[in-house]
Amino acid sequence: MDFNLALVIVVITILGIGLDGCHSKVVQFIFGDSLSDVGNNMHLSRSLAQASLPWYGIDMGNGLPNGRFTNGRTVADIIGDRTGLPRPPAFLDPSVSEEVILENGVNYASGGGGILNETGAYFIQKFSLDKQIELFQGTQELIRGKIGKRAADKFFKEGRYVVALGSNDFINNYLMPVYRDSWTYNDDTFMDYLIGTLERQLKLLHSLGARQLVVFGLGPMGCIPLQRVLSTTGNCREKANKLALTFNKAVSELVDDLGKHFPDSTYRFGDAYDVVYDVISNPNKYGFQNSDSPCCSFWNIRPALTCVPASSLCKDRSKYVFWDEYHPTDSANELIADELIKKFGLLNSDQGGAPSPAPDVAPSPEDQ
**What secondary structure does DSSP assign to 111-140, as a single string?**
TT--SSTTTTGGGSS---HHHHHHHHHHHH
Kindly list the catalytic residues.
Answer: 34, 324, 327
pLDDT, residue 9, reads 34
Per-residue pLDDT, averaged over 33-53, amounts to 97
Per-residue pLDDT, averaged over 131-138, amounts to 98
CATH superfamily of 24-344: SGNH hydrolase (3.40.50.1110)
pLDDT, residue 305, reads 83
Q: Please report, as a single letter, which amino acid is at residue 54.
A: P
First CA to last CA across the chain, in angstroms?
A: 68
Burial 59-88 (b: 16+ CB within 10 A, else e): bbeebebbbbbbbbbbbbbbbbbbbebebb
pLDDT, residue 347, reads 66
pLDDT, residue 21, reads 45
What whole-number distance in Å separates Cα of residue 249 and Cα of residue 255? 10
- The Cβ of residue 359 has, within 10 Å, a number of other Cβ atoms equal to 17
Per residue in 137-193, pLDDT (tens digit) is 999 999 999 999 999 999 999 999 999 999 999 999 999 999 999 999 999 999 999
What whole-number distance in Å separates Cα of residue 243 and Cα of residue 217? 12
Per residue in 276-324, pLDDT (tens digit) is 999 999 999 999 999 999 999 987 888 888 999 999 999 999 999 999 9
Per residue in 46-70, pLDDT (tens digit) is 999 999 999 999 999 999 999 999 9
3-state secondary structure of 176: coil
Per residue in 335-365, pLDDT (tens digit) is 999 999 998 776 654 444 566 766 666 665 5
pLDDT, residue 232, reads 85
| Pick from 1-5, 216-220, 320-324, 348-352: least confident | 1-5
Share of the chain above pLDDT 70, in %: 87
Per-residue pLDDT, averaged over 225-230, amounts to 94
Beta strands in the chain (DSSP E): 28-32, 105-107, 160-164, 212-216, 266-270, 290-294, 296-297, 312-313, 320-322
pLDDT, residue 364, reads 59
pLDDT, residue 19, reads 40
Q: How far is CA 346 from the centre of its chain?
A: 16
- Pairing assessment for the beta strands 28-32 and 160-164 based on DSSP bridges: parallel
Q: List residues bridging with 296 in a β-sheet.
A: 313
pLDDT, residue 337, reads 96
Give the pLDDT band (50/70/90) at residue 271.
Answer: very high
Share of the chain above pLDDT 90, in %: 83
Q: For the chain, which residues make up each domain, given as ranges?
A: 24-344
